[in-house]
Amino acid sequence: MAEVFKNLINGKWKESSNGELMESINPANRQEVIGILQSSTAGDVEEAIQSSIDAKREWRKLGQFNRGQMLYQVANEVERNLTEIAETLTKEMGKTLPEAIGETQRGIAILRYYASEGMRKDGDVIPSSDKDALMFTKRTPLGVVGIITPWNFPVAIPIWKIAPALVYGNTVVFKPASESAVTAAKIVQCFEKAGIPKGVLNFVTGKGSVVGNTIINSKKINGITFTGSEATGKLVAKAASENGVKFQLEMGGKNPVIVLNDADVKSAVDGVISGAFKSTGQKCTASSRIIIEESIYDEFKQALIKETEKIKVDNGITEDTWMGPCASESQLNTVLDYIKIGQEEGAQLIYGGKQLKNANLADGFYVEPTIFENVASHMRIAQEEIFGPVIALIKVKDIEEAIDVANDSEYGLSASLYTTNIGAALTFIEDIESGLVRVNAESAGVELHAPFGGMKSSSTGSREQGEAAKEFYTAIKTVLIKSK
């Protein structure tokens, strides 16, 4: 019997009020249940919100230094459980074990980064026009923050939202995606074992239509941070705006990689392979549109296919596995639908494109890494986020056309350029419409202490990660004190 995971509300692990449960299954083997979770009600969420409200005063009064020290303890707890958490992530989401270990290690580093925020300044002294006055700013927490996270990074994304929310003095109601909620539960257990006070972090699992909607429509919450689909993000924005709630959205990308004729082809191919196919392409920063100067197009294409042929697709646990399954049956079907759409639109399928059903993969949600060429910029496979291991090759005559094609998207999260020409690099940095700009590096990389976020439909609100996170999780008080 798989382990049953409860909600954490007001410091207690509780069953949902309706007694309903849901299963999380292994995408590499649909017959294996990884864990059983609560399918919670709106009433459960309201209880969690009230618990956060009740806890926020004492948590704020604890002080930023002491809150930071607690995050160090959480980091130590995650580190003690690193192997178990990473293996759960692999079994529940399908990410290869090396990637899962790397993500968990990143989560530990994020916790320690924000723990150190406890010893950094929370305001500035500003000269006053009144010689007898002291004027300064002070950061103050929002209050209660609702956190809604996706299934593709079930350790890193929750931690990079929860850690700054807590160190800056907020309390949290956390809803993870159901597809990876067991992994999220194990992270929450680490907070609880580290001694987080009751009501400071509340954890509720269940359907987005119930749990998520209750969070985003609550007038008792002071901030909502969401990572997920654009459609859901728009609902968050609408509800939060109507309720006067501060919100922060990250909603994906259609990330271009430009390869110029002076690029190191091997380096560019390696970057595209890693950016497009690791995590089965299930990253918001994954490489999706590969835009290549025509004079090296054939050379690049052949090298790309040759390296793609080396990719081993398996369950993620074995040492030589390079790419695992899609995270769910619905995501597999989405990828297969887009492959069909690409062919119907007239793009040429030159590698992969099939569901893998051989004996050892038959019970999993596997698809081949897939490459299209003869792709026009207006096609759906060049415009819509697929969130799978599918890339579109687009041939252009020069850098000006390449940047025009790259910018021809409603998204603007991450973009990459491969070149040895410093002038081209500077032009790209200036003209590309993207929040993350990378030169001679894959589109999917991001530093934990650097601001994260995009332009256009990719993001709304202030940036995540690093010191930039403070802009969302706090408000500024401007204080003036007269001596007499």
Query: Looking at the predicted structure, is the pLDDT value of residue 357 above 90?
Result: no
Buried b (16+ CB within 10 A) or exposed e, 130-139: eeeeebeeeb
**287 close to 416: Cβ distance less than 8 angstroms:** yes
**Lowest-confidence segment of 278-292, 352-366, 371-385 by average pLDDT:** 352-366
Q: Please identify which residue in the block is written with the tokens 């300064």.
A: 136
The pLDDT of residue 321 is: 79
**108 close to 78: Cβ distance less than 8 angstroms:** yes
- Would you report the helix, strand and coil content of the chain in percent, each value rounded to 5? 45, 25, 35
User: Residue 87: CB partners within 8 Å, gap ≥ 6?
Assistant: 97, 100, 317
Q: Which fold has domain 255-447?
A: Aldehyde Dehydrogenase; Chain A, domain 2 (3.40.309)
User: Residue 309: CB partners within 8 Å, gap ≥ 6?
Assistant: 351
The pLDDT of residue 315 is: 82
Query: Looking at the predicted structure, is the pLDDT value of residue 317 above 80?
Result: no
Domain with CATH 3.40.309.10 in the chain: 255-447
Domain with CATH 3.40.605.10 in the chain: 4-251+458-482
* Neighbouring-strand partners of residue 476: 139
The pLDDT of residue 360 is: 81
Q: What is the edge-to-edge ordering of all strands in the sheet holding 12-14? A: 12-14, 7-9, 201-203, 171-175, 144-148, 223-227, 246-250, 459-460
Residues belonging to the active site: 250
The pLDDT of residue 151 is: 96
Q: What's phi and psi for 392, nearest 5 deg?
A: -115, 125
Q: How confident is the model at residue 334 (pLDDT cuts 50, 70, 90)?
A: very high
User: Residue 269: CB partners within 8 Å, gap ≥ 6?
Assistant: 300, 303, 304, 307
pLDDT for 23-39, tens place per residue? 999 999 999 999 999 99
The pLDDT of residue 483 is: 81
Q: How far is CA 138 from CA 4, 63, 261, 411, in A?
A: 43, 13, 51, 35
Q: How confident is the model at residue 445 (pLDDT cuts 50, 70, 90)?
A: confident
The pLDDT of residue 231 is: 92
**111 close to 76: Cβ distance less than 8 angstroms:** no
| Calpha distance 361→429 (Å, rounded) | 43
Kindly state the percentage of the chain with pLDDT values over 70: 100
Amino acid at 306: K
The pLDDT of residue 110 is: 98
| Calpha distance 25→181 (Å, rounded) | 11
Query: Looking at the predicted structure, is the pLDDT value of residue 183 above 90?
Result: yes
Query: Looking at the predicted structure, is the pLDDT value of residue 291 above 90?
Result: yes
pLDDT for 359-379, tens place per residue? 788 899 999 999 999 999 999
Q: Is the dihedral angle over the CA atoms 315, 390, 356, 313 positive or is it negative?
A: negative
The pLDDT of residue 65 is: 97
Q: Please identify which residue in the block is written with the tokens 């020290």.
A: 69
pLDDT for 82-134, tens place per residue? 999 999 999 999 999 999 999 999 999 999 999 999 999 999 999 999 999 99
Amino acid at 31: Q
User: Residue 95: CB partners within 8 Å, gap ≥ 6?
Assistant: 89, 103, 279, 280, 316, 324
Question: What's the chain's Rg over C-alpha atoms?
Answer: 23
pLDDT for 204-220, tens place per residue? 999 999 999 999 999 99
| Calpha distance 221→140 (Å, rounded) | 16
Q: How confident is the model at residue 302 (pLDDT cuts 50, 70, 90)?
A: very high
pLDDT, averaged across the chain = 96
Q: How confident is the model at residue 484 (pLDDT cuts 50, 70, 90)?
A: confident
Q: What is the edge-to-edge ordering of all strands in the sheet holding 4-5? A: 4-5, 29-38, 21-26
The pLDDT of residue 358 is: 84
Closest CA to 297 of 220, 376, 369, 374: 374
pLDDT for 254-273, tens place per residue? 999 999 999 999 999 999 99
The class of domain 4-251+458-482 in CATH terms is alpha beta
- CA distance from start to end of the chain: 71
Q: For 479, left (φ over 0), alpha (ψ -120 to 50), or beta?
A: beta
Amino acid at 189: Q
Closest CA to 476 of 140, 135, 164: 140
